[in-house]
Chains A and B, each alone.
Chain A
Amino acid sequence: MTESINDKANELTIEALPENLTAVTEFVDGCLESVDCPLKIQLQIDVALEEIFINIAHYAYQPGKGPATVRVDVSDEPITVTITFIDQGVPYDPLAKDDPDITLPADEREIGGLGIFMTKKLMDDVVYEYKDGSNILRLVKKLH
C-alpha cells in the first residue's frame, strides 16, 4: 500500500453562521462519499453535525462572529470517521447537560437538549475538550 487512508484527512474553516450549515454538510458528505459511507450512516452523521455546527453558530461567539473549523479524518480497521469541530468561542461543553426525559408525553415534552442527546445516540463516541483557547468536539462513527 502506497497511500494511507489517513491521507484523506481534510478540513474546512468557515464563518460559524447558521446559513453555512449547507456548505458544512456538503463538505462532510463529500468526504464520506469518498470512503463509500452507507447512506443511512451519512444521514446520522448529517444529523449530528447539524446539531453541533448550529450550536456553535448560535452560541460560540455571541454577540459577535467567528470561525469554525471542521476536520474529517478516516481511520482503518474498522473504517471509522472522526469529525472534529474547533472554535475559539466561549468555553462550552455541550455534553455536560443532563439528557432529556424522552418518556414524557407530548404535552410535557420540551425540545431543549434533544439535539445533543440524538448526537450521542447516533454516534459511537462524542468527546469534548477545551484546549489552548479552543472548544474541540469530536464525533466518532464506525462505518460498518
Chain B
Amino acid sequence: MKKTRVVWSVVSTLALSGVVLAGCGTSGSGGGNKDNASANGNGNSGQQTITVAYQQFGKPPYYNAEWLEKAAKQFEKQHPGANVKLEPIQASENDFYTKIDLMMKSASTAPDVVTEDTFLINADGSAGYLQSLNGYVSHWSDWSKFSSAMKSGSTSNDGTVYGVPFSTDTRGLYYNVKIFKEAGLPVPWQPKNWNDILAAAKAIKAKVPGVVPLWIQVGKATGEATTMQTFEMLLYGTGDTLYDAKTNKWIVKSPGFLDSLKFIHDVYSQNLGPSLSQILNAQAGNTESQELMPQQKIGIALDGNWLPGNWLKSGPSPWPDGTKAYQLTAMPTQHGQAPGYTSMSGGWALSIAKKSSHKDLAWEFIKVATNKQNMEWYDVHQGNLSPREDIAADPKYQNAPGQFFKVATSFEKFTHFRPANSQYPSVSTQIQTAVESVATGSATPQAAMQQYANNVARIVGQSHTESK
C-alpha cells in the first residue's frame, strides 16, 4: 500500500515539469507587465497606449530602439492622447521568436506592434497571432514604393499581408586584405566555386598562424544564422533547395544537401574553422564581428551585409577602416554552375498582433515608422538593405560610408528567399541540429541527413516530404 503512495508522490513531483509545458499551451507566459487599463480604453477619449515589442541583444547601440523611439515621438505629436510604450525583449534571436509567440497567445500579454522576422511571419500568421494588413495597405500610397520581392516576403501564399517590411539583406563572403596578402592569395578575390574557398582557407591556415581561416556559423545557439548564413548559402548554390513549391513538399534528402554538410565537415574536421568553444554559443556572431574581425583575426567570413554596421563610429565596435580591411564578395555556387553566384535574403517586418485592442492606432504607428525618412535612418545605421525602392535609389543611401550597400544590393540579382511555409521555423531548427552535429563530429554528413529526414517527416508528416 505504501508503494502506491510513493508512486503518487513521484507522479506529482515529475508531473510538475510537464505542468510548465501545458501551462504555456493554453495561455502562455512571459512578457512584461502589460498595462491592462490601456487595453480597456477602446473608446476615442482619454489616453491610449500602444506597446511595441522588439528584440534587444548584445552590446549597444540599439538602432532599432532609437528608430522606434524617433517614430514614437513623431507619432505622439501627430496623435495627441496616444502613447507609445516600447517593450524591448532581451533575448537571443531564437528566444525572441519563442517569447513573442508566447506573448501573442494571450490578449493580456500581446503587444500591439511587433517586429517579425519574415521567416516566421507566415507561421505566426497561420497560427492566428497576426492581423491581416490587407485592408490597411490597400489605402496606403507608400505601399507601392516597396519592392515587390520584399512584399512577397511578408505575404502568405493565400495573399494575406502580415507585415510591412522595414529591412532586408543579402549574404556573401568577407575577406581580409592583409591576411590574404600574407597568405599569397589574390586581392581582389573572387572565388569561382567551393574548392576555391577551401583552398584559400588552407593557404591561410598554412601561412598565417593565429587567425581563423574560415568563419561559418554552425551552432544551434546561433539559430537562424546557422541555417541561413551557412547551410542555405551552401545548399542554394548546389541546384537543390529545401522545399519544392510545385509539389508542396520538403526535400529532405538530396545530393546538394549532403554536399553542403560535407563542406561543413571538411571545414571543421580540417580545423579550418574557429574552435568549437568560440562558435557554439549565442554570442558567436558578436565574437566574430565585434572582436575577431576588428583584430583582423578572421581570414574569410560567410555573413550578412549588415556586418560592417558593427564598425560604425556609433556602433558597438567602432572601426573606421573596417570596410577597407575587409572586402565583400559574392558567394560562388558549388562548381561555379550558372548563375555563378548565390545569396540568401531575409528581413524584418512590423506586424500587428491579432489580440491587439488598438489595431488602427498600431497601423498609424507602423505608417510613421516605415516612412521614407525613418526607415532610411534605420537601414543606414543598422546596415540593412532597404525594402523601399525610393530609398534604394537614393545616392545618400547608396554611398553611405562604412557600408557595402552597393555591392550587397548587386547580390539581389541571384538571391533566394526561404520557403514561405508555416513549418519552416520548425524545419530550420532541424537544419541547425544537423549542421552542429556534423561540425562537432558527433554525426557523419550521411547520418545527419538521415536524422534530418526523420525529424522533418515527424514534424510535417511523411507525406509532405520527398527525396531527390
Q: Do these two chains really belong together in a complex?
A: no
B contact set with A: CB distance below 8 Å: none
